[in-house]
Amino acid sequence: MLFNSYEFIFVYLPITLLGYYLTAKFIKNEAAKIFLIFASVCFYSYWDINNLPILLASIAVNYAFGRCLTNNRSKKVLMVGIAFNLLFLGYFKYTNFILENINYLFNAGIAMKNIVLPLGISFFTFTQTAYLVDVYRGETKAYSKSDYLLFVTIFPHLIAGPILYHRDMIPQFSQAERYKINYKNLTYGILWFTIGLFKKVVIADKLAIYADRVFNSTADLTMLDAWGGSLAYTLQLYFDFSGYSEMAIGLGCLFNYTLPLNFNLPYRATSIIDFWRRWHMTLSAFLKNYLYIPLGGNRTGHHLRNIMITMFLGGLWHGAGWTFIFWGVLHGIYICINHLWRKTKYTLPQWMNWLLTFNAVNIAWIFFRAASFNDALNILMAMFDVNRFAYPYSKFLAKYFSVFGNKDGTLIITDNLLMLIGFVVLSVLVLKKEIIEKFNVYLTATIIAAVLFYTVLKLSSVTTFLYFQF
């Protein structure tokens, strides 16, 4: 079940909302919590019920380790718990990747395993690993079974984040006001959900048409096609993932829960360091607090090494492939260069900082998206080959962005043009949470009604979110 589907919007969500608040009103808050757990489990099982035992096993084992660490803050227990999570994630996500490389290096001929990657495994594994570390550090204690279950399974974040932290989320479950209808939160929730849905359906899915055509056919691209394809994917990934994250935030608001902001205008960053403070912020926080700092952070003389290890593992977390690893390493190199540049005390104009940062990020995304290094190199060579500026004839660009189609030559407002208009509106008007919260309630209602109506009309073809594969 996808957030951008009729069955979710018109069936699952209304039933879950009504059930949650009615259970709290006529029975008790604890029962409403149990109902939301049940609804979240049903949401997850809708994808593939065979994945449910995997999720529940992970929760049961991590909860048990949390209990043990509460009673005995043993480093050995912590290490066993972390090892379990890493092996758990590694088996499902990296077994075939490892076997492929063994076969390549040693011509071993080992058959690939028939392993289906459970949805959301990277997110709920990281969420629980952070919990175990914090219990060991004495920053929290073991929670009740229902609180812990809801923390891990709450459906807005379960499949693709944002990564939740127990210290921010679980205390909300015991607050009585979370179980009473709050019309302000309902308004903000619908607004956030609508913005995210619009980003996904109207912008990201339209950009995907062009990006997919370029990345699926990388031979003999023109310079314009190559740049157009790379920029299309750069924007598609942002609008797709930030759209999901904002839909998750909106869904949390509907149930009176506050989920963390995951993006803060990352493509306005004026350095790579600044970019990672704005992009997928919950993952950045995890990598910093639970990997970079434990490695020594910048307190030792090896902070550049620690950066490279962190980004290498960050790339590996995203996918079992060398292109993902290279993407992570490339960003590690970027960050190291950024730190070394700061030591020179030499400054560039802000527009130049932005231009360099955006293009560095755009180039790195090519390896993130490409099916192989060869495809990535094909696109890069086309981007910087002036001899291919307009020859051979552009395969995709003219057709994709054409707004003239009638025989009489009249202007047609295509979905692609609407997508571009939407991009401008969202980039200029809808910037931050603080701005959204200052909207006049009547203006908000009007915007919600108009945008939601238009977006729902575009749900004829439902597509998955890009981060589901991670």
- Count CB-CB contacts under 10 A for residue 297: 16
Instruction: Kindly state the tokens that stand for 385.
Output: 């080959």
Length of the chain: 470
From CA 98, how far away is CA 67, in angstroms rounded?
33
Active site residue 331: no
Indicate the DSSP class of residue 259.
P
313 vs 308: CA distance, rounded Å = 9
Q: Which of 230, 241, 176, 165 is nearest to 203 (CA)?
A: 241
Give the span between the Cα atoms of 280 and 375, in whole angstroms.
26
Assign 404 to helix, strand or coil: strand
- Counts for the chain of helices (H) and strands (E), in that order: 22, 0
Q: Which one from 302, 318, 331, 339 is the annotated catalytic residue?
A: 318
Question: Can you read off the two tokens belonging to residue 358?
Answer: 């955006």
Rg (CA), the chain: 23
Fill in the amino acid letter for 146: S
CA distance 194 to 210: 24
Catalytic residues, by residue number, are: 318
